[in-house]
Each structure stands twice: as structure tokens, then as C-alpha cells.
Amino acid sequence: MADLTQNEWASKLNSDKNAVVLDVRTQDEVNEGIIPNAIHIDIYKGQGFIDEVKQLDTSKNYYVYCKAGGRSGQACSVMNQLGFKNAYNLLGGFSNWTGEVALK
């Protein structure tokens, strides 16, 4: 897992052809906006989160975010334990995100 600043995360994401953006916030938080093309798996689902993450392709690079960076850090750790090699945590989370936002 790597903790990346907003600029590092966005720059790496924009140049990564193997990238997947993962939003681990609650549905209520997602309703306020989402980083474009993100897939949503709520980390508060517990085992359900783990089950859904296990369906993902471990060869991809995952750019993970939550509201402030704490839950996404936990999600990256879980993903690493499940065999994901590249999970990048967005420091400061969606609260500090200055890039594009979409409504889901």
C-alpha cells in the first residue's frame, strides 16, 4: 500500500492504463458525488466488502478513496492481504479532492 497526496494520486492515475478507481464510502456519501468511473464497494459491509473485493482482478492497480483517507487506508491493507499488489490510498480523501466529480 502507498499513501499518496492528491497530486501524486491524480497524476499516477491519469498515466496508468491498468487503473481502477475504488470508492469505499457509504452509499449516502457516494450520493454527494464520486470520482468519475469509480466502482463503489462500501467498506462498512465487513465480510461483504471482502467478498466483493475478492471478485476484482488482482493484476490491476487500485486507486482507493473514502471521505478522509482512513477507511481507504484500511481497505488498501485488506486488499494487500488478499493478494493485491498495487493499492494506492488517497490522503485526505474525497473531502480534499479538487479533481473532477460525477454524480452517480
| Contact (Cβ atoms closer than 8 angstroms) between residue 70 and residue 27 | no
CB 35 within 8 A of CB 23: yes
Beta bridge partners of 19: 61
Q: Quick one: which of 40, 26, 34 has its CA closest to 102? A: 34
DSSP 8-state symbol, 25: S
76 belongs to the catalytic site: no
Q: Which of 10, 38, 66, 87 is catalytic?
A: 66
CA 34 to CA 2: how far, in whole Å?
21
Active site residues: 66
